[in-house]
A and B are shown apart, each in its own frame.
Chain A
């Protein structure tokens, strides 16, 4: 079973940058679509971005397109999210998620990390 651990969250000023990381355990990382999903305090879940197993297909939500960049390193079992030009509305818990044995196809979140909090404030 895949275990996911996020890191890199913290307090950043509007307009600033932050890089989130997600470390994955297990041998299946390189075969899974990977995602970032966020949740503003007291609000619902919002999909942010996804990347296919070999990194050749990437999609973003309109709200982050042009500001965020997702990437992966299959040799290191790691996923990253580079966030630039951050805004107050980007404040949220950011979850790393992957496919799972139960679900595949790029649209399913079979495994989740515990989340890392990003706060954008002056």
Chain B
């Protein structure tokens, strides 16, 4: 069971904007940075967003991150077929003294 809660699935049509949520607690998201990763089918994950809302090098500005309180969100605008992937949020958890992942959200582009 993941400490960070993500919806198991999300979907959208090309050109749409989709948002993926990540819900945590006062021991992780509220006080530590949130990171987002994209995992395309059959490949290693890739860093998308670091420090809550900073895009990693080479990541299109269609991807954006935000955080408020104990929740964070990843938004993808102008959805494209190549965005179909699994998306994971992570953060350090001070109570567990470890890095925790969300369960992942499978994004389908219809």
Contact = CB atoms under 8 A, between A and B. Distances in A.
Interface in B45-72: 45-47, 50-51, 54, 56-57
Nearest to A109: B47
Interface residues of A, number: 26
Contact of A107 (B33, B46, B88, B104): B33
A100 interface: yes
A110 B50 CA distance: 9
A103 B50 contact: yes
B47 A102 contact: yes
A50 interface: yes
Nearest to B46: A112
Contacts of B37: 45, 109
A45 B2 CA distance: 10
Nearest to A102: B56
B5 interface: no
Which applies to chain B's interface (DSSP): helix, strand, loop or mixed?
strand
Interface in A7-30: none
A119 to B, nearest CB: 18
A103 B47 contact: yes
Given A45-B37, A107-B35, A109-B47, A102 B54 contact: yes
Contacts of B32: 107
Contact of B44 (A46, A60, A115): A115
Interface stretch (B12-20, B74-82, B89-97): B89-97
A47 B47 contact: no
A2 interface: no
Contacts of A112: 44-46
Interface in A57-106: 59-62, 95, 100-103, 105-106
16 contacts: A45-B104, A47-B90, A47-B100, A50-B99, A59-B98, A60-B98, A102-B47, A103-B35, A103-B47, A107-B99, A108-B35, A108-B50, A109-B90, A110-B47, A112-B45, A112-B46
